[in-house]
Amino acid sequence: MRILVVEDEHRIAQTIKKGLEQERYAVDIAFDGASGFDLASSEDYDLIILDRMLPEMDGTQICAKLRASKIHTPILILTAKSQTADKIEGLDAGADDYLTKPFSFEELLARIRALSRRPKQSVHTSLVTGALTLNTQEFQTFYKDVPIQLSSKEYSILEYLMRNQGKVISKQQIIDHVWDFDADVLPNTVEVTIKNIRNKIEEPFPHANKIIKTIRGFGYRIR
């Protein structure tokens, strides 16, 4: 999952980024409202965390503008105020949830998980395809109940493909959802990482059906 954090307080923004990256999310930061809106409207994010008080364009305005541009990415607004009026204003502008500062990181993570499984995902914490299971809370992968040790990027790619089961996903979509905006990633890196995932699953299970199918010229699909 790739998350955009729009927050003008650099220390808070970096703390959130660092914490989320430890949880396997790819994270981009914008430090003001205008660049936040630009990134949110030009890149494909799975979730946007918006600080309410921002220079140039505040969080509520960004939210309303994104919704007006038909961008329906889940939005979580961070607000220093806890007054009801501010919450209502944020939700009316199209935000999905809000969190009052200061907040605990655990609560932020719980809200991100809740938003990311809406509306497609149910409350389940595992993704299953055939004999392959991902526990999305513990970041563990199992094939026929045998744990498979994946690196953080290998896990993220597999999770993204499994969340989009049955759909053909291009290498560019994988790059956009698994790596940061700053990361200089070539399609070849995706190919190599996919190859590593396959090896890790297929080596101990030489008779396993091919889990990740290559769609030549397009990308990959998981059954």
Report the alpha-carbon distance of residue 100 to residue 22 in Å, rounded: 22
CB atoms within 10 A of CB 64: 17
CB atoms within 10 A of CB 96: 19
Query: Rounded to the nearest whole angstrom, what is the least distance from the CB of residue 9 to Ca ion in the complex?
Result: 5
Query: Whose CA is closest to 128, among 145, 151, 104, 116?
Result: 145
Kindly indicate which of the ranges 2-10, 37-45, 172-180, 188-196 contains the residues binding Ca ion, using the contact rule CB under 5 A. Answer: 2-10
Among 8, 21, 58, 180, binds Ca ion (CB under 5 A): 8
131 binds Ca ion (CB under 5 A): no
Kindly indicate which of the ranges 51-59, 66-74, 96-104, 207-215 contains the residues binding Ca ion, using the contact rule CB under 5 A. Answer: 51-59
For Ca ion, the closer of residues 6 and 178 by Cβ is 6
Are the C-beta atoms of 104 and 114 separated by less than 8 Å?
no
- DSSP tally for the chain: helices H, then strands E: 8, 12
Among 3, 37, 47, 51, binds Ca ion (CB under 5 A): 51
Among 34, 39, 53, 109, binds Ca ion (CB under 5 A): 53
Query: Rounded to the nearest whole angstrom, what is the least distance from the CB of residue 36 to Ca ion in the complex?
Result: 11
Pairing of strands 140-143, 132-135: antiparallel
Binding region for Ca ion (CB under 5 A): 8, 51, 53
